[in-house]
Each structure stands twice: as structure tokens, then as C-alpha cells.
Amino acid sequence: MKTTSALLVLALSVSSSALLVGCADENDPKTWVSRLEDASKRAASVKRLGQFFEDTMTKANGDRNDASVKALLDTIAEPMAKVYATGGGDEKTRRELLKILSDLQDARTAPAFARAFQDYEPGRNDDEVKNATAAIVAMAKKGQTLDPALLDATFSLFAKFKPSKAKLAGAFKGLNEAVREIKSPTWGAKATELLAAPVDDNPDSKLDEIMFRQLTAVQLLGDLKEASAVPALVKVILTPSKRDLRATASTALLRIGAPAEAALAGALAGKDAQWVALEERWPNRSWVPAVAEAATMLGRPAIRTEALALVASEENLTNKALLAQFLYRFAPNAEALAAYKEAVEKTAEGAMLEGDANGNARATMLASATYFYDASLVDWVVKLSASAQKAIAKKNAEPLTTLAVETDTAMKLMTKGQLAAVLPLAKATDAGLALAGVKGTPSQAKYDAAAAVVNQCDEKVECYLAELAKPVSTGKPESAMRAVKAATMVGVLGAAEGAKNAAALAKTIATQADPSARLASVEAIDFLSPKGSAELATALDQLVESEVKAGQKNLAHDAMAKVAMRLRARL
């Protein structure tokens, strides 16, 4: 009897335990979280928790601020991150786990991403780096505070990562985005140190150092506006083996602004001891255009002084021509205009740039004449074009390149009283184009469009601004010319009320999609704001940002961003 009772008690106990186990709520995330610690159940738990998150997000219409989403994250984020961070799970499960953690975009998952970076082995877990950096970028954009340990792990991996060894391109692209999105102020000195690494001609070295590590470091220093990095960035520009970084380094210096003035002026002067040793390595003083492009973009007073002195003394024609084309960046300035005109006049019409079979020196310089916004240049250009017009009249199309640039400049700057003087240039250009096999009269069509706007508006700035509000017909150069002419004339006539007219131009850019019209407007804004403008810079940046987010592409975006930087650099 006692034996029977004991068996009954044991049976009831087993039944009760089975009942308790069977009562575990399979629809409760906590149930699956509790199973993460069990190696035999971990894979199923990871998959089920990922499904919970996906379903909850779907019901919340993708709103991460929804109460149900927040509640779920409170339950699963830290336990799932802990499993990964402590090394739990087989490789396949860990990959899936990190992908889910990436989708959570929750700062509490930081330990998992730090561990992924620490454990990185080229070619083995590139996808985990890609997923981790995607989450970091998303969290940083939302303003989430990231764990210091994760920041350290991110930069450490970036500093040693070699795209040449990776098998997934998204891994190093993700690291670039993560470093730039986080842009921790503590990284400035470390990023500067990375620029000291030498680069050889080995393709892997170029990929790892130039196209990834040093490129990202230069971009980061610009993002941080790291003044202490100025010497290192100037050195990049002066290092021949790093020529692919020059444009990015120039942009970084422009973003840094005023603190870069002295170093760039010293480099341009060619007398500063810290730069002379580097400059002497360049044949035929070919460092001049490289430094000039970066220095003149900043456009500050000390740089203007050195640029004007250099363009007057430079004996190398190519250097002189490439420097002269940047002098408009100091307008409005009488000395800069005079130096520019002298450089053009002293250059023979057929002179070519060194090493460039298609580089007509005079045409290169004249291409920027419009941006001085001085109508007196029209009469000057007409005189310069006389020999080219005569040559084309004699069936010689060789000077066509120069004449085409002269005609374009004259059309954009001409006032009502100069229309008759410019028409022959347009006809001569079309005659030259005919010799080259081009049918029709494209130059005169553009001239007619520009002349119509001038006859309509004459000296009324408001009229030109109203013209810019009109849409540009796609594929019709003469329609675009009306807008370009209008924007240029606002620059020519609007300096007396520069701030007011620059602000009005900025408003037209938002409604004008044509890239050429936008470019003309943004260049005029730059000219009309000699003392800079934080407000206009912000307006341009916001417009570019909003259009990029909306998936819109416009060829003028880069110019708009650079002018915004110049507007800040002059403050």
C-alpha cells in the first residue's frame, strides 16, 4: 500500500512538472530570451526573437518609437547582445544574431558590435562588420549616445582594416560611414597620425591607404574642423604619391576655414621652410596649381596677397595659367582683376598647357572671367577675340576653343549697350563650328536668348530675379541661357545690395532644377557675399541635404556645398 502511494505521489510530481513546462508561453519573448543560455536551444531562440521583432515592427508600421517596439527592445536587446559579446553560439548562429542586433538599432547592443570588431578576421566575418557598422550609422544619425568601448573598437578596426584583404566591399564602406557619422572629437589627433603613413605604387597599398584609410581620415578631419590637422593636410597636398587625396584634402581645409589661412599662404609663397623641402621635389614647380587650388578656394586676405605676387612672378606658363584661373575667388577686388587681365594678355593665343594636348592656356584662364561679374570685361574680351574672328573668317578653325570661351563670357556679362559688339562673336563662333562639322547656329541661339533677357530687364535686378523663377525647358541650351544670364546679371548689377540679392538668389535655387541655372546662381551668391554668410551657407546645405534624402540628384550639388563652405570660411 505504501509502495502504491509512493508511486502515485511520484507520478503526480512528474505530471505537475510536465504541466509547468508545457505552460511556458511560446508567444512571450521572455520565454525565448530564457532559452538563449541553453546552447541546444540558442539557434531556435535567436530565430524566434528575430521574428518577434519583425512582426512587432510590421504592426507598428515601422515606428521604432511605438510603445510595443520599445517594450520588446527592453526585453530582448541586452540579453541578445550579451550572448554575442560573451562568445556564445556557433558561427552561423552568431552571424544571424548580429544581423538581428543590427536591425534593432538600439544602443544597448553596443557590446556585441565591439566584440565583432575585436574578433574581425579578413574574409571570415566581413558581413558581421557590415551589419555592425550599418547599425552604428543608424544609431549615430538618431543621436543615440554610443558606448565609449564601442567607439574605441570602431576606430581601432578602422585604423588597421585592409580592404585589399576583405571579401565584402560593404565592410569598408560601412566603416567609412561609421567613422564619419560618429566623428568623435577624440579622434582628431589619431586621424591626423594616420596621414603620416607612406604610400607606394603597390595596388593593395593604394587601396588600403589612399582609397580607404587616409581618405576617410581626411574626410573625418574636415568633418571635425580639426585645426591641429592643417599642417598634415597641406603635406598631403604636397605629396605627389597622394595626389588622389588632393581634392578631398582641399575640401577638408576649406571646412576648417580661417585656421588654415597661414599654412596655405606660406605654402603658396614657396618660402616657408616646412614646405620648401616638399615643393623642391616637384619638377618645374608643378606644386603651384595643386596648392593654388586649395588656397584660393579658402579665399582669405593673406592668401590673396601671396596669390597675386605669385601670378606676377611665375615664369612657368602652365603654373601661371592654372593659378590665374582661380583669381576670381578674390573678387570683388581691383588688384585681383588687374592681375588676372595681365596674365591673360601676356599669354599667347595658341599657347598650350604643359602635358595637356587639349589644354589651351588662354581659354583655361578665360573660362573663369564671368565670375568677376564686371561688365567692363566684355569690351576687353571683344578686343581679345579680334584675331580669332579673323582667323575663322579665313576658314581656320584652330582658334575656335578660345573664341568659344570668349563668346560665352561676353554673352553672360553683356549689358544692353554691349549687345551689338557681342553679336559678331556669336556669329564667328558658329562659323568656326560649321568648319568643324557642327550644323545650325547654336551660339547665336544662346546669344538671342541672353539678349532677350537683357532687353527685357536692362538694369532691373528684380526683373532678373523674376526670370529665374521661370522653368527651364529640358534639352534646350537657349532656355538654360536665359536663366544663366539672369543669375549672372544679378551678380553684375546687385553688389550695392549684395546681402539682399544673394538671399533672393538662394530662394530661386530651391525652385530651379536646371544644374546650369543653379550653378550660375550659387556662383553669384558667392560673389555677392564677400564677408561670408552663415545663414546662406545653412540654406544651401539644407537644400542639398533634403534633396539627397529624397533621392534627387543634381549636378550642382557639389558646387552648392563648396560655396556654403566658402561662405563660412570668410566669416
- Note down pLDDT in tens along the chain; length 571 residues: 445 555 444 444 444 444 444 557 899 999 999 999 999 999 999 999 999 999 999 999 999 999 999 999 999 999 999 999 999 789 999 999 999 999 999 999 999 999 999 999 998 889 999 999 999 999 999 999 999 999 999 999 999 999 999 988 778 899 999 999 999 999 999 999 999 999 988 999 999 999 999 999 999 999 999 999 999 999 999 999 999 999 999 999 999 999 999 999 999 999 889 999 999 999 999 999 999 999 999 999 999 999 999 999 999 999 999 999 999 999 999 999 999 999 999 998 888 898 765 689 999 999 999 999 999 999 999 999 999 999 999 998 889 999 999 999 999 999 999 999 999 999 999 999 999 999 999 999 999 999 999 999 999 999 999 999 998 887 778 889 999 999 999 999 999 999 999 999 999 999 998 999 999 999 999 999 999 999 999 999 999 999 999 999 999 999 999 999 999 999 9
Query: Into which CATH architecture does domain 29-182 fall?
Result: Alpha Horseshoe (1.25)
Q: How far apart are CA 116 and CA 34, in angstroms?
A: 23
Give me the pLDDT at residue 25, please: 85
The answer to pTM > 0.75 is yes
C-alpha grid cell for residue 3? 509502495
Angle, in degrees to the nearest 10, between helices 148-160 and 110-118:
30
Helices (H) and strands (E) in the chain, counts: 32, 0
Q: Which residues are 360's β-sheet partners?
A: 352
Contacts of 524 (CB under 8 A, 6+ apart): 373, 487, 488, 490, 491, 494, 502, 505
What's the pLDDT at 346? 92
Query: In 3D, which of 287, 405, 419 has the Cα closest to residue 349?
Result: 405
Taking alpha carbons only, the member of 157, 152, 149 closest to residue 129 is 157
Q: Determine the pLDDT at residue 14.
A: 44
Instruction: Identify the pLDDT of residue 9.
Output: 44
Please give the span between the terminal C-alpha atoms of the chain, in angstroms, as a whole number.
100
Quick count: other Cβ atoms within 10 Å of Cβ 85?
Answer: 19
Tell me how crowded residue 401 is: count the other CB atoms within 10 A of its CB: 20
Whole-angstrom distance, CA of residue 287 vs CA of residue 279: 6
The span from the CA of 297 to the CA of 293, in Å, is: 6
Helix (H, G, I), strand (E, B) or coil at 1: coil
What angle do the packed helices 246-256 and 214-224 form, to 10 degrees?
Answer: 20
What is the CA angle 83-85-86, rounded to 5? 70
Q: What are phi and psi of 444, to 5 degrees?
A: -70, -30
pLDDT tens digits along 89-113: 899 999 999 999 999 999 999 999 9
pLDDT of residue 357: 55
Residue 477: what pLDDT? 80
Q: What is the DSSP string of 270-314?
A: T--HHHHHHHTTSGGGTHHHHHHHHHHHH--HHHHHHHHHHHHH-
What pLDDT score does 15 carry? 43
- Give the cell for residue 548: 539627397
Residue 106 has which C-alpha cell? Answer: 538600439
